Amino acid sequence: MKKGLIGLTMAMVMAITSFTGCGSSKSTTVTGPSNQAPATTSSGKESIEIAVVCTSLTGSLATNGDYMMAGVNLALEEVNAAGGINGKTLKATFLDDQVKSSEAINAVKKAVDQMKVPVIIGNDSSGLVLADMPFAAEAGIPQIVSGTNIRITNQGIKTIFRMRANDAIAAKILGEYVVKSDKHKKIAFMYTNEDYGKGFMESTDIIVKGLGAQVVDSETCNIGDTDFTAQILKIKASGADSLLLLGKEVETAKFLRQSKQLGLNIATYGGSPFSLDYVLNLAGADSFEGLKIVTHYLPQDSDPVVSAFVKKYEAKFKIQPSTHSVCYYDAVKLVAEVMKKYGTTKENIAKGLHEIGYTGVQSKYKADANGDMVTKQVIGEYKNGKWSVIDRIE
């Protein structure tokens, strides 16, 4: 799988046409497929530019940025091959937030003030979205994100839209599955102390307690922590019959690996970060055995639409599409449909995103009053060395 990720990164490099600055933020403009030279507009054909804020192209989550780019580029290729936006070429400039709030803000400011795009797609990390979304909102530019913290869409901002179920929805599904379906009564939490992990934990805590379960321990860690011995020993001593491991990719992977090494053998549940191949590689397949997660999508889903997308993506990139790939593929295709039907100004796009119904790969999309566009989740189980979808909830 590492070879596949390297190939994907090389494909992205081949698509680069320019690097410009905003603070130290980097941007990459792409108009064509990501595994060959980008399409040009030298023929005089008009183009429409959108901005994609990636979490991230550099930094600790750079693989996620690669996945996001790949999904966007595949969608761009298909949109432009089908005639673009009413004859105009759709192109994207990728802005790197480097997993830093300051760079996320720089990226959105650049998209607003310099590029003057009519729509911004991204970013993914909840904390970064919360940091940069006020700048797009103030300019009235619709921003389509995948961060799941509930606060993103509960502030009355009419130009923010979300391509994934928020943490409250995922928490309800996960909590009910753990307590009602799998009959666990003594819950331990381990979460990363940032917006995604903390928000997911708090929402799930309410659900499991409401169902009569007891939270016997709640542990946390900071981003960048590497030794989780103290937390693991406390959970072992708590008498928990299940562990809800909620948080960011690297830390939860390392925690899971160490927990198995230290003999913490209880039923373990998590969220969408565990569906990523590099998280599996970091934790080790033995540590994943028996893990159940609630997520937006798994490439192993037998749904015909998902299967067709996975086949197409694998043929191009020689690797399975991640949750980031499919989400940002859908986001570009959604924006293209809105532009075709409603127009290409920021006002047209915002209106269209509130009104349109669109069926993508990850889900059916229809915005509610807050801008949340999807409720679909799947329950995945890692068993005998592979993922399978054991339930779908819409």
Is the bond leading into 42 cis (omega within 30 degrees of zero)? no
Q: What is the mean pLDDT of residues 173-191?
A: 97
User: Could you tell me where the beta strands, DSSP code E, fall in 193-278?
Assistant: 214-221, 242-246, 267-270
Give strand pairing partners of 219.
190
In whole angstroms, what is the distance from residue 216 CA to residue 213 CA?
Answer: 9
d(CA 33, CA 253): 32
Residue 60 pLDDT grade (very low, low, confident, very high; cuts 50, 70, 90): confident
Lowest mean pLDDT, pick from 6-20, 127-141, 309-323, 331-345: 6-20
Both structure tokens of 17: 């046409």
d(CA 59, CA 176): 35
User: Among residues of the chain, what percentage have pLDDT more than 90?
Assistant: 85
- Give 231 or 60, the one with higher predicted confidence: 231
Topology (CATH level 3) of domain 2-164+306-374: Rossmann fold (3.40.50)
Q: Tell me the average pLDDT of the chain.
A: 90
Place of tokens 């995604």: 196
pLDDT at 106 over 60: yes
Report, as an integer, the average pLDDT of 111-131.
96
Is pLDDT of 33 > 60? no
Neighbours of 58 (CB within 10 A): 15
Compute the distance between CA of residue 208 and CA of residue 238 in angstroms, rounded to an integer. 17
70 against 34, higher pLDDT: 70
Torsion, Cα 295 299 302 307, to 10 degrees, reads 140
Are 93 and 29 in contact, with CB atoms under 8 Å apart?
Answer: yes
Give tens-digit pLDDT for 351-386: 999 999 999 999 999 999 999 999 999 999 999 999
Fold of the 167-295 domain:
Rossmann fold (3.40.50)
Say if residue 69's pLDDT is above 60.
yes
pLDDT higher at 356 or 33: 356
CA distances from 357 to 121, 311, 337, 374 (A): 18, 25, 10, 11
CATH 3.40.50.2300 spans which residues of the chain? 2-164+306-374, 167-295
Classified as helix, coil or strand, 25 is strand
Q: How confident is the model at residue 44 (pLDDT cuts 50, 70, 90)?
A: low
Non-local CB neighbours of 226 within 8 Å, separated by 6+ positions = 254
What length does the chain have? Answer: 394
pLDDT band at residue 58, thresholds of 50, 70 and 90?
confident
Query: What's the whole-number mean pLDDT along residues 218-229?
Result: 97
**pLDDT band, very low/low/confident/very high, at 55 (cuts 50, 70, 90):** confident
For the stretch 323-350, pLDDT in tens is 999 999 999 999 999 999 999 999 999 9
Q: Is the pLDDT of residue 236 over 70?
A: yes
Q: Where are the beta strands (DSSP E) in 296-385?
A: 357-359, 364-366, 377-383
**pLDDT at residue number 2:** 38
